[in-house]
Amino acid sequence: MATNFGETEAYLAEQRLAHEASQILGSVGLSMEELGKKKKVLDLGAGTCQVERAARAFGLRNVVSAGMHFPKEAKAAGLDYVEMDAAQPWKFEKSSFDLIVSRKGPLFHTRTKDEAVFMLEEALRTLSPEGELRLNPLRFGFIKNEMFAKYPRFADLEGQVRHMRSLHDQKEWEKYSLEANLETASRLRSLGYDFSTALPENTSDPIENRGYLVFKK
């Protein structure tokens, strides 16, 4: 029996992409169907643009990907990609998006509080009045940095490759990470931000990456 391996490979790649995109969207409490109801969506810190690529396969053209470097995997796909440093003024007009999603994006990588505040203000400026900003995970980089200074052990553990950690070290790292999540929410509130948090249960995300923040205009 003849088998067309090319077609099978393409089918599997499409399935894998759809799965990865649904994990990214799921991490902020959304699905591809919900994405389809939005006018314009920004995937901030898009990595290899799985969300935009899967959206296109789904017939959607409403996603813009953004990140520091246009990934070579995505260049050939003719995507709507914006190279940007979110710590610098964003080139988008105000009210450009009704949804901004970000999993492990710029806010997760912030080094200072001022950088995080700048990015949040830019995100809120570029959201339309009914827009939402959804961020996963719950901890921001600058909070981790502050905690590293307070708990050098956290910095040591963070520097280890996850699958090389002993079970004991992994548990200890999770404890610090969860504390960083709580600290992030509490700091954002003390900075005057209004947002909600959600902690989905039916997810395969590791405990420290479970949960997201939702900011509305």
Ligand X SMILES: C[S@@+](CC[C@H](N)C(=O)[O-])C[C@H]1O[C@@H](n2cnc3c(N)ncnc32)[C@H](O)[C@@H]1O
Q: Give whichever of 104 and 165 is closer to ligand X, judged by the CB atom.
A: 104
Q: Does 28 bind ligand X (CB under 6 A)?
A: no
Record the tokens describing residue 14, joined without a space: 């499409």
Instruction: Scan for tokens 């690529």, then name that residue.
Output: 53
CB of 68 to ligand X, least distance (A): 4
How far is Cα 140 from Cα 112, in angstroms, rounded to an integer?
9
Number of helices and strands (H, E) in the chain?
A: 8, 7
CB of 129 to ligand X, least distance (A): 25
Kindly state the DSSP code that residue 29 receives in the 8-state scheme: T
Q: Does 84 bind ligand X (CB under 6 A)?
A: yes
Q: Does 106 bind ligand X (CB under 6 A)?
A: yes
Q: Contact at 8 Å (CB) between 136 and 102?
A: yes
How far is Cα 72 from Cα 177, in angstroms, rounded to an integer?
32
Q: Does 200 bind ligand X (CB under 6 A)?
A: no
CB of 58 to ligand X, least distance (A): 18
**Strand partners of residue 83:** 67
Binding region for ligand X (CB under 6 A) out of 66-74, 91-99, 127-135, 150-158? 66-74
CB of 21 to ligand X, least distance (A): 10
Q: Rule CB under 6 A: which residues touch ligand X?
A: 24, 45-47, 67-69, 84-87, 103-106, 109
